Amino acid sequence: MEGLERIVKEHVFFADLTDDFCKLVCGCAKNVRFEAGDYLFREGDPADQLYVIREGRVAMELSAPGHGSMTFQTVGEGEIVGISWLIPPYRWTYDAKALERIRAISIDATCIRRKCEDDHDLGYELMKRFVPVIIERLHATRLQMLDVYGTKS
Amino acid sequence: MAAPETAPLDPMAPLVARVTRRHHDAPEVFTLELEPEDPGALAPFAPGQFNMLTVFGVGEVPISFSGDPVDQNRLVHTIRAVGPVSGALTELEPGAAVGLRGPFGVGWPMAEAEGKDVVVVAGGLGLAPLRPALYRLFAERERYGKIVLLYGTRSPDDILFRRELEAWRGRLDAEVEVTVDHAMAAWHGNVGVVTTLIPRCSFDPAQTVALVCGPEVMMRFAIAALMDAGVAADDIYLSMERNMKCAVGFCGHCQFGPVFVCRDGPVFPYARLRGLLALKEL
C-alpha cells in the first residue's frame, strides 16, 4: 500500500492531495498494466473503473457501421481515462484502447463513489480535479466540431 | 545629374516567374516552386513574409513563403485551392508563368527569439508560413533554447510536410508533437485539438517566444493556453490573414482595427491585437 500511496501522491492528477484523502483513494486503487492493442474497456460495458495514466497513450474510439473505428481523442501520461463512472447509468459510451504499453492506477468506481458519499470533503476535492477535465474535453470537442481546418463551404 | 542605373521597383508592378515544380501536399493543397526570370530584381525574403502571386487573366492573391530562406532563388509557396485564383495557381504546371510582387510584410521575430525557448504552434495550412522560421531555427540551432513544435490538423491525410515533420521529430534537440482532430483507428498518433498539447510540453514560459499560425479560432485558444502556461502576451506572435490586395498599405482592404495586415503584419505580437481578435467580423 505504501508504494501505491507514493505513486498516487506523485501523480500530477492527485498533486497536493492530503494524506488522509490519499489513503481513502488508495483504498479503492490498484496498479494495472495493459499491452498495446488491449482494450481498457468497451462501449456498453459498466463504467466500474477509473484509470489514471502513469505511462503510455490510450485511444478513445467510436465505431459506426460502414465507417469503422474512429479515434476522437488520445490521452497520455498524467491524464485520466473515463468520466462515465461519475454519472448514472455508469456505462462506457466508447472504446478505450492501449496504443502502447500502459501503466495506470485503476480506481474502483463503486468504492470511490461510496467514499465520496460518506465524506463530502473528499467528494468536493475529487470533483475539483475531475470537473476541469470535463470542461477541457468539452472545449476541445467544440473546437473539433467547428472543423476549423476544413475549407469554407 | 546622371540617372540611376536601375529604377527602384514599382511595388505594384509584377515580375514574371516560372513554375519549376508542383507538388501535391494534401487534399486541395499544393506547393509551387517558382524561379523569377530576373532573380536579382527581388529583395531577399524573411520567414513570415508573403508574395502577391498573379495568375494572368484570373487575379492576384497573397501567399506566404513556405520554403527555406537560405535558398533565395527558389521561391516556395504552399497554396490551398479555395477560390478562383488560388485554384488556378494550384493547377499551374512546370513552365507556366506567374506574376509576382514582393516580398511584403513583417515576418517572424527571429532575432527577438534568440537565446529563448521557441514554441511553434501551427494549425492546418498555418504550418506553411511557419516552415521558413523552422528551417531558420534548426539551421541556427545553437542560437535558441528549447524548440517545441506543436502541429494540429484535421486528419492524418491532411498532414503537411510529413517528411520534414518526421525528420524534425527524430532530432534529439527538439520536441515535436503532431495531433489530428479525428482519425481512423489505424492512426497511432495523437488525436485531439492542438491546444491540448501545450500544457504537456516542457519550456520556460518566462523565457519563451511563441509563434502561432492557423485558423483564427484556433489561434485564440492557443493564445489562451500559452498565457495559462505563463507566456507573456508580448512574447506571443501571430500571423494574421485578411483580405490583402495592394500589399503595401495603400488600399485599406486588409485594415484590422488600427493596423494594415499587409504592411504592419502579417506577423504581430499578440499584445498589439489583444481585444481585436475577440471582435466578430472585424
Q: DSSP per residue over A7-75, as a string?
A: HHHHSGGGTT--HHHHHHHHTTEEEEEE-TT-EEE-TTSB--EEEEEEES-EEEEEEETTTEEEEEEEE
d(CA B76, CA B34): 6
- Domains of chain B in start order, with CATH, are 15-104 (2.40.30.10), 110-239 (3.40.50.80)
Q: Give me the residue from A136, A144, A151 closest to B181, CB to CB.
A: A144
How distant is the Cα of A91 from the closest Cα of chain B, in angstroms? 22
SS3 A2: helix
Q: How many CB atoms lie within 10 A of CB A120?
A: 10
Question: Is B73 within 8 Å of B35 (Cβ atoms)?
Answer: yes
**Is the pLDDT assigned to residue A68 strictly greater than 80?**
yes
Whether residue B152 contacts residue B200, with contact meaning beta carbons closer than 8 Å, is answered with no
pLDDT of residue B3: 45
Total domains in the fold of chain A: 1
Contact A92, A50 (CB under 8 A): no
pLDDT at B169: 95
Give the lowest-confidence range in A72-76, B25-29, B49-53, B252-256.
B252-256
Structural domain that includes position A137: 2-145
Residue A151 lies in a domain: no
Mean pLDDT of chain B: 92
Q: What is the pLDDT of residue A151?
A: 65
Q: According to DSSP H, which parts of chain B are helical?
A: 84-90, 110-113, 127-139, 162-169, 216-228, 261-264, 270-273
Enumerate residues 6+ apart whose C-beta is below 8 A from B59: B84, B85
Mean pLDDT along residues B190-194? 95
Mention every residue, 6+ apart, whose C-beta is less than 8 A from residue B266.
B48, B50, B64, B105, B106, B129, B239, B240, B241, B242, B244
In a domain, A153, yes or no: no
Cα distances (Å, whole numbers) of residue B267 to B46, B237, B254: 11, 6, 13
- Interface list for chain B against chain A, based on CB atoms closer than 8 Å: 28, 80, 82, 123-125, 152-154, 158, 179, 181-185, 187-193, 195-196, 200, 214-215, 217-218, 221
- What are the tens digits of pLDDT across the range B60-99? 999 999 999 999 889 999 999 999 999 999 999 999 999 9
* Backbone phi, psi, residue B28, to 5°: 70, 5
Q: Is residue A19 part of a domain?
A: yes
Residue B153 grid cell: 490538423
- pLDDT (tens digit, 9 = 90+) per residue, A27-44? 999 999 999 999 999 999
Sole residue written with cell 513554375: B19
Report angle CA B128, B133, B136 to the nearest 5 degrees: 135
Using DSSP, state whether A100 is helix, strand or coil: coil
Cβ of B196 and A136 within 8 Å? yes
ipTM score assigned to the predicted complex: 0.87
In this prediction, what percent of chain A has a pLDDT beyond 70? 97
The pLDDT of B30-57, averaged and rounded, is 93
Are the beta carbons of B130 and B238 closer than 8 angstroms? no
Could B217 and A76 be called an inter-chain contact, meaning their C-beta atoms sit closer than 8 Å? no
Contacts of B192 in chain A (CB under 8 A): 73-75, 140, 144
Question: What grid cell was written down for B275?
Answer: 481585444
Contacts of A39 (CB under 8 A, 6+ apart): A95, A96, A97, A98
- Please indicate if any CB of chain B lies within 8 Å of the CB of A153: no
Written as nine digits, the cell of B93 is 504546371
Q: How confident is the model at residue A149 (pLDDT cuts 50, 70, 90)?
A: confident
Task: Please list every residue in chain B whose beta carbon sits closer than 8 Å to the beta carbon of residue A144.
Answer: 181-182, 192-193
Q: Is A120 helix (H, G, I), strand (E, B) or coil?
A: helix
Chain mean position to CA B68: 12
What are the Cα distances from residue B221, in Å, to A110, B16, B197, B228, B277? 36, 40, 12, 10, 11
Instruction: Output the domain CATH number for residue A135.
Output: 2.60.120.10
A150 lies in a domain?
A: no
At residue B201, the 3 state secondary structure works out as coil
Phi, psi of B31, rounded to the nearest 5 degrees: -110, 130
Spatial contact of B54 and B14, defined as CB atoms under 8 Å apart = yes
Distance from C-alpha of A39 to C-alpha of A28, rounded to nearest angstrom? 21
Is the residue at A92 inside a domain?
A: yes
Minimal CA–CA distance to B133: which of B198, B80, B64?
Answer: B64
Mean pLDDT calculated for residue range B158-178: 96
